Structure 1
Amino acid sequence: MAKKSTIQTEKVNTYIVEWLKNYANKAKVNGFVIGISGGVDSAVTSTLCAQTGLSVLCVEMPIHQAESQVSRGREHIEQLKKRFPNVSNIETDLTETFESFKKAVPQTGEEAKISLSLANTRARLRMTSLYYLAGIHGLIVAGTGNKVEDFGVGFYTKYGDGGVDVSPIADLMKSDVYALGEFLKIPDSILTAAPTDGLFGDNRTDEDQLGASYDELEWAMLAAASGKTGADFTGREKSVFEIYKRLNTNNKHKMDPIPVCVIPEMLK
């Protein structure tokens, strides 16, 4: 079901690095700030940014984070700092901030909705921290979303990890990101780890939340783009296609421009 990546990794790498460098120079900024999660997307994005030669600030922002995620993130940062002298890092532990927020807001209602809202709050606290650091260091925030997440199923937090200045890998499928990660020699611990957003303080994976793997969702995204419908499939393929279409429809509000109420000229 999965589509094997066919991108020309070396050429794609060079293209993205030049794109980032040109954008930063035109924007007259010093470089990039990136949240490091211990996942492949942030590892690839930070390595692409590092190759520009501009300042790159890698930020760890744990909030009751699983030790495995923390250790993978630190392994990547240490490797990156050894390879690129323009890379620095900082840890901003937001656990206490998150707990203070929980005490300040009401927590009455459906438990599942509260849990999801708090998970999204984690992402928004991290976004706020990245923009604070970007502001004081003259940097821009580099996003880590891939094509399946950003334009397929909308698997990100609006104004959280979706709040960025540039999106270097948002036109790459997840399989492309892995291919680029192998080319860039991202740590094996990251390349082999099950993807997770780490927003719930437990061990649930992205697949647990989405109901399908990225390989499956990538297949469904390509199938939908070619004009296929659920009626064209049976069994697991049909289930995955329906999962993709449901998520794509429900999360359109994230992927489409913010609706603007345009006042008719006759009323102005």
Structure 2
Amino acid sequence: TEANKGTARFAEGEQIPVTGYGTAQRKTMPKPLYTEATLLAAMETCGRNITDEKAKEAMKELGIGTPATRAAIITTLFKRDYIERSGKALVPTEKGLYIYEAVKDMQVANVELTGSWEKTLLQIEQHTLETRSFMHSIESFTSQVTREVLGLKFPAPKQHSLPCPKCGTGKVMIRPKVAKCDNLDCGLLVFRKVLNKELNEQHLEQLFSSGATKLIKGFKGKKGNSFDAAVAFDDEFNVTLAFPDKKRGKKR
């Protein structure tokens, strides 16, 4: 028929010569990193990914937190240095990865447990389960989680140190929020956040070795104006901003 024109037809057992072949190499791509927006969405819909069908049904309209608390949960992750920003993406810190590895197999990290509780509460509502049974399971859960969490042992934080430019004898200890000389008589203290910028390891090394960082772009003033500056020590080792000499480099 007209509709079958150009359609290949084969008979069972027929041998067809292969005129050419090739191979192609491909790599699987990891899932994209979360942004704050996509993480909020994932927290809202996490119940859809539960494997237990009964728990999934009980939790299908639920998620991690509530619309009023999810943003605060992410803020807490930042405050406790579990995650940090890389552009718009959220990436786990070394501390965050350690916590994940430590608790991922514990009951406290079991998302499906929330679904099972919702299922149990529904049974209580329908008068097919006694409240006492549910409370007994909660007591057992609390006891187990407490034992697991109290049994965690955290490694000592790694501390990077630099020679102190002020006293010449102490070591400046680099911590997440500050850099401080370990010589109590010195008192040199540098907060890592200057206006809207966080000084990284390279900035601190430049500051303590030469007295000033290289030019840092994108500072924000109190009125929202953007400017570039270096972070430097004054004569008394207080942190100040140093501005580039605009006249330098101009032809006369």
Same fold (TM over 0.5): no
Query: How would you bin the TM-score normalised by the shorter chain?
Result: under 0.3
Higher strand share: 2
- The structure with the largest alpha-carbon Rg is 2
